[in-house]
Structure 1
């Protein structure tokens, strides 16, 4: 009986959040809030020429707003990490002053949810490049849907074809920027040894595709 209890406790601890998980997730989220704010300033500068060419192209720069979701999960590897990091990061952007107002909170939530769903599908056991790309793409997909169909969506007036193009572009951006760069960043951090307290400590040696 004691052996069974110990095994159950060990199994549960794999998905239970520790204090260090919460602290690091919060740090990732805070850093993400700064990234969000800076990315918004950059987006404001590059959006006008993109709009002049073809407005839906702005979806290609959306991936920066999804980095905390994928990066947080790749490092913490616990249920809820993507949703937590992305939502708290959005809160941080709002506090610093977001041009998108309070709607940024819902955007953060749905983007985090998109990434979270992918990791949940793989039962929080797969963190390779394909899964990371899928998580980023899902976050981008949810971002595109939110921007295109929510009452506060900034491109809600787009024609159906333009909305579809925008959603595709946000999914691509999420996959490449949030999925790909976060995966590379996690491997780089693992090599430095700073992830020694996490399951991601061996990320640099993990297979790319399996």
Structure 2
């Protein structure tokens, strides 16, 4: 534990906080879109797909922080800070957002932990996408009581979640991190 703290510097703490704040604003801005998509899908019985479709937006802070900072714990902190910002701005899920932030951040961390926090390339981000989807979908399965849905509905929701997380928590953060590295802004 002591070694973990030695690798963190003030600039790392500031950067993970900034990532959390910016992503928290994005999370909060996504709340009305989630409500709209839910309202559109409810008449056809597909309301749960609203969360699956937009899931990647709420899980992007963790992979982005991990790709930029390359420090264990950055994903968990960024997701938690983002969730806190969303909650404080009046997000629709209230304090439950903090629990979701911790779970989503844990999913992001787990993917990079599988590579020993050594691979910040497509292998690392792919592992993070898969673990984030599994952990978050598992949490939603319990929280939203998806156990009553049919098998194929669950499979479809998982695949939509996986695609959303790949696009918005895999491809987008990887692109942003690459742009930041090429700009030498973080040197």
Shorter-chain TM band: 0.7 to 0.9
| Structure 2 counterpart of 1:77 | 70
Tell me, which stretches of 5 or more residues in structure 1 are unaligned?
A: 1-11, 197-210
1:97 paired to 2:90: yes
Q: Which has the larger radius of gyration?
A: 1
Q: Structure 1, residues 68-108: CA drift from partner, whole Å, max 9, x if none?
A: 00000000100101111001111111111111121111111
Q: Structure 1, residues 40-62: CA drift from partner, whole Å, max 9, x if none?
A: 22221222223444334320211
- The answer to whether the 8 Å contact 1:32/1:67 transfers is yes
**The residue matched to 1:104 in structure 2 has which SS?**
helix
| Structure 2 counterpart of 1:88 | 81
**The residue matched to 1:165 in structure 2 has which SS?**
helix
| Structure 2 counterpart of 1:159 | 149
- The answer to whether the 8 Å contact 1:148/1:158 transfers is no
CA distance, structure 2, for counterparts of residue 170 and residue 144 of structure 1: 8
- How do 1:35-184 residues align onto structure 2 when only pairs under 5 Å count? 35-53=26-44, 54-58=46-50, 59-150=52-143, 153=144, 155-156=145-146, 158-161=148-151, 162-184=153-175
Query: Structure 1 residues 141 and 13, CA, compared in 2 at 3 Å: closer, same or farther?
Result: closer
- The answer to whether the 8 Å contact 1:135/1:175 transfers is no
Q: Structure 1, residues 6-51: CA drift from partner, whole Å, max 9, x if none?
A: xxxxxx6897111110010000011111011011222212222234
TM-score using structure 1 length: 0.79
Cα deviation for residue 167 of structure 1 reads 2.9
How many matched pairs? 182
CA distance, structure 2, for counterparts of residue 120 and residue 66 of structure 1: 17
Q: What do you get for the CA RMSD once the two structures are aligned?
A: 2.1
Tell me, which stretches of 5 or more residues in structure 2 are unaligned?
A: none
- The answer to whether the 8 Å contact 2:53/2:164 transfers is yes
Q: Structure 1, residues 150-181: CA drift from partner, whole Å, max 9, x if none?
A: 3xx3x546414233432332222112211111
**The residue matched to 1:127 in structure 2 has which SS?**
coil
Runs of 4+ aligned structure 1 residues displaced above 6 Å come to: none
TM-score using structure 2 length: 0.88
- The answer to whether the 8 Å contact 1:138/1:174 transfers is no
